[in-house]
Amino acid sequence: MSQQVSVFIMDVSNSSVEHIGNEISEYLAQIRGSLTEWTQYTVETRVSHRAGDELVVVCKGYATAYVLAFYISRIWKFTDHRPYFGLSFGDIETDVGTLNLETWIHPLMKQARQANDYLKNQANRNLFRFALPRSQAEQGYTVYHEQFESLINTSLTLKQEHLNGQTDVQSLVCSLYLILGQQNKVSQYLGRTTATISHHIKQGKTQVILQAFDDMVKVLGSLEETDKTFLMDKLQSNMKQQIRHHLDAYLPKEGSST
């Protein structure tokens, strides 16, 4: 039976720099564990950590891989070694739970790799890029897969401009606001006034960035045969709860200097 899934292939910038490779590899093993915890009992997901600095994820739902990738990007601690994600989504005939990602060959993996390679060759690298496969029996959104791909990547590029314009503290506030959901909670955590947090949210375009993320998730979900909005809400709620339980580890108050 056909399953609607999404894929990402993640690499890390400048991971071959001396003295950092092993640390990044160990950190990716932790991220793999986090992905397992985040998706357990919510969305069937397969994760593979390979080649030292690469993560591969396949999961049910057209929006799921992008949701997971976005959260990883928000909690990532190595500011000089950013992750970047090649993504795709579509239908497969194999159950996600039975996939062996080390040997699985599929057009979705090819497209995710293509998107990842595109980012790898960018001078000013974006965090995310989608590449969509052509369907043999084009129907629904697949009739316009090239147009969808172009619109999605244009939206991601515009969002990237806002992300690139954030200061370190604005980026931290953006991440905390995503996880905590309220300005006063961000204020309490950082020990700053709500007026200061409000200023960072406004200047860092936090509302614009998070709204663009929400809109992307809704659009990807709307392309599925059955509306999975409730499932994405449940997944994000579970992720936020687990991150909040270890907030100092994920988003330390002083930010990351690594």
49 bridge partner residues: 55
- Per-residue pLDDT averaged across 154-172, rounded? 96
The answer to whether the CB of 142 falls within 8 A of the CB of 153 is no
The pTM assigned to this predicted structure is 0.94
Q: Which two tokens stand for residue 215?
A: 């809109």
Sign, CA dihedral 97-34-69-247, equals positive
User: For residue 1, what pLDDT is reported?
Assistant: 67
Maximum mean pLDDT: which of 18-22, 97-101, 114-118, 230-234: 114-118
Both tokens of residue 197? 């947090």
Residue 246: pLDDT band with limits 50, 70, 90: very high
Tokens encoding 57: 């994820």
- pLDDT at position 257 is 33
pLDDT of residue 53: 81
- Contact (CB, 8 A) for 130 and 149: yes
180-193 confidence digits (pLDDT tens): 999 999 999 999 99
Is the CB of residue 102 less than 8 Å from the CB of residue 48? Answer: yes
Mean pLDDT across the stretch 222-232?
82
Residues 6+ apart with CB under 8 A from 59: 5, 6, 39, 43, 44, 45, 46, 65, 68, 96
Of residues 107 and 50, which shows the higher confidence score?
107
Query: In this predicted model, what pLDDT tens digit does every residue of 48-90 receive, in sequence order?
Result: 987 768 899 999 999 999 999 999 999 999 988 999 999 999 9
